Structure 1
């Protein structure tokens, strides 16, 4: 992101968090010159992102003269959309510019892995279906961000590897331009969860925190000193691929002994095939229920996954010393990963500071 785009983003975020803000307020809050603020806000108004309103909180001395003008996010018909590409479904969330939810939409995926162009076409069709249900058109879509599992350089929209794609090293940018009706961006899904938690959720106000996602695989979003950490290539933080066993279980990345090969849904269910009396457990929920019903082999499997996960968390704490670790995922996928036993294992393996 160049300096001009970064300044636009700072100004836009200042207005978003303030609700309304005058140009003077923005200049003081961001330590930008009045000329810079005027230039940036003019371009944002021209782009339909913000609008001017008459301030209602001006002091009496100001009210007697020229009305004080404030800025807020535009209340027009444009939307922004987030898409999470999962293993079996694609989830779509449509928001207006001030973050108010307009609609949610979910569509099944034809297959868990697709050719890159086929996935982009599926995204286009899902967007069209969502907007048709809204009684609207894609002309009202201002931008879309797509979350994928895998190693992704967000700035260049380059996917080194993703479990959702049949090919490695794919430049998604040209496909987005070819098939989608608006600017489109792609990022690692755990990074997007971390950013959402920082702006709206459990990490609001925190400077150093981690988000661990547990779904089909295991992901990690790292925020250090208030900034998302990406690594030199822009695709660091592959927590699911730290090694927990030499020459261990095969991971979907092609390597062996990765954490997610034991903790992620596919790893659990693959190992569960050896302990089920009926062949395989169809879902993690069924595996958890069997353990609760007294299946000792299923319970042992979940306990082992918890031990490996706890060891991984303690390593993260020793490395990053975070204020908080946020565990994200469906309850039936993560319930066995934050038990009292797992948390005690984490404490026992963390280097304590007196």
Structure 2
């Protein structure tokens, strides 16, 4: 992973624009477009068959390499159905016969050796992006979601023109893809995690601290620049996906992922799937109200949870303990909060109380959430994990004091310090999941390239 300056001067922008126009002119026609949920737009004519193909690809992602008999047993599909589907997927180059020591040993057993199958890592490539307020992280993954290369690029996206943000994200993607020795035409889809309220189906960001104006059709802005399908999601959705696929939610189907930092993010996993709600706004935990007429939040309303426990609120509660002025630069706030944590660790009781109060507010809010969703596990992540030894126990105390007795003692708590590559890998996993369920997209791209 590398870091580099993302400042684009006028000459660089002209070069970028010329390269973009050349891509648009020379790119062969594409198949079905990625707009929001891939599976909603690009299903097989036979939806049951399409679902079964997706199930086979997904079980190969999770458990592969495995045999057809094992696939049949795991999915409760007939052996003939699995044989037909896998033959088609092998012909399309989406899966491969897996050759390893175990497969070789099977040849010594009487009867026909058991063939084991796995996803073909080179069948497709995805790009995941985490758009932060102080930096952008881009990860390129193969078809099994192994990260080929990542880049973390300093950039203050706070209150920027959407077109400027799209230009910088475009440049970051181009550089990272090139570092993998791939061409942009090799990439099947891009997913960007954006802080704020996002309608992933329409590709519109309705509110975000990253943009100077709203609403923003950011998926279209970026897709027009790259000429590649682009999906945008609320930034905690990729994190929840990452936790489910290769993190702390692999063994639990119903979990809540909470992030603490500049704001309060949430990703919801119900029955193993990310829950977005009817309009994509189900993760707006940060702006649930905990005090009538309370402090002003950055969203423009009063009394939000973020206005009580986000970085701005912590700095205000610390008062004179904050050394020097605090600018609106997100990096400045992050540095100031880290300084407060260090002083609390050095014995400052007032600051310890400030961080403990974060836990109390958080626990009360989580009690309301748990009464509705009943998660098995709450997973914490984000920039404020450094102070978890001050707020976690108060959060548990406040939560259990406000839930019914049968729920007490059953909840599990996990604190993770995930880096941005983990988040961006989750973004790539989101579009890969949609590709597993919509192999028409992969076939169309393959046909267009031939």
When normalised by structure 1's length, the TM-score is 0.86
- Counterpart of 2:117? 71
For the residues of structure 1 that align with 2:291 and 2:255, how far apart are their CA atoms? 27
User: Contact 1:210/1:223 (CA < 8 Å) preserved in 2?
Assistant: yes
For the residues of structure 1 that align with 2:261 and 2:195, how far apart are their CA atoms? 10
Structure with higher RCO (Cα < 8 A, 6+ apart): 2
- Counterpart of 1:309? 362
- Counterpart of 1:253? 299
- Counterpart of 1:161? 207
- Shift in alpha-carbon separation, 1:244–1:59, aligned structure 2, 3 A: farther
For the residues of structure 2 that align with 1:163 and 1:298, how far apart are their CA atoms? 27
- Shift in alpha-carbon separation, 1:70–1:219, aligned structure 2, 3 A: same
Q: Which has the higher strand share?
A: 1
* SS of aligned partner of 2:295: coil
Counterpart check, 1:30 vs 2:83: no
Counterpart check, 1:206 vs 2:206: no
Q: Which has the higher helix share?
A: 2
In the TM superposition, what whole-angstrom CA distance separates every residue of 1:272-314 from its partner, at most 9, and x where no partner exists?
4554354447421012122333444433322322211121122
- Counterpart of 2:14? none
Decide which of 74, 89, 95 is 1:50's aligned counterpart. Answer: 95
For the residues of structure 1 that align with 2:151 and 2:319, how far apart are their CA atoms? 33
For the residues of structure 1 that align with 2:90 and 2:214, how far apart are their CA atoms? 40
User: Contact 2:267/2:283 (CA < 8 Å) preserved in 1?
Assistant: yes
Q: Which shows bigger deviation, 325-334 or 188-197?
A: 325-334
Structure 2 unmatched ranges of 5 or more: 1-38, 41-46, 327-332, 408-450
When normalised by structure 2's length, the TM-score is 0.69
- Shift in alpha-carbon separation, 1:336–1:243, aligned structure 2, 3 A: farther
- Counterpart of 1:12? 57
For the residues of structure 2 that align with 1:213 and 1:299, how far apart are their CA atoms? 20
- Shift in alpha-carbon separation, 1:273–1:170, aligned structure 2, 3 A: same
Q: How many angstroms does 1:324 deviate by? A: 0.7
How many pairs are equivalent?
351
Structure 1 unmatched ranges of 5 or more: none
- Counterpart of 1:276? 322
Indicate the RMSD between aligned Cα atoms, in angstroms.
Answer: 2.9
Decide which of 134, 138, 159 is 2:184's aligned counterpart. Answer: 138
- Counterpart of 1:345? 398
In the TM superposition, what whole-angstrom CA distance separates every residue of 1:133-168 from its partner, at most 9, and x where no partner exists?
344433333322211122222233232222222232
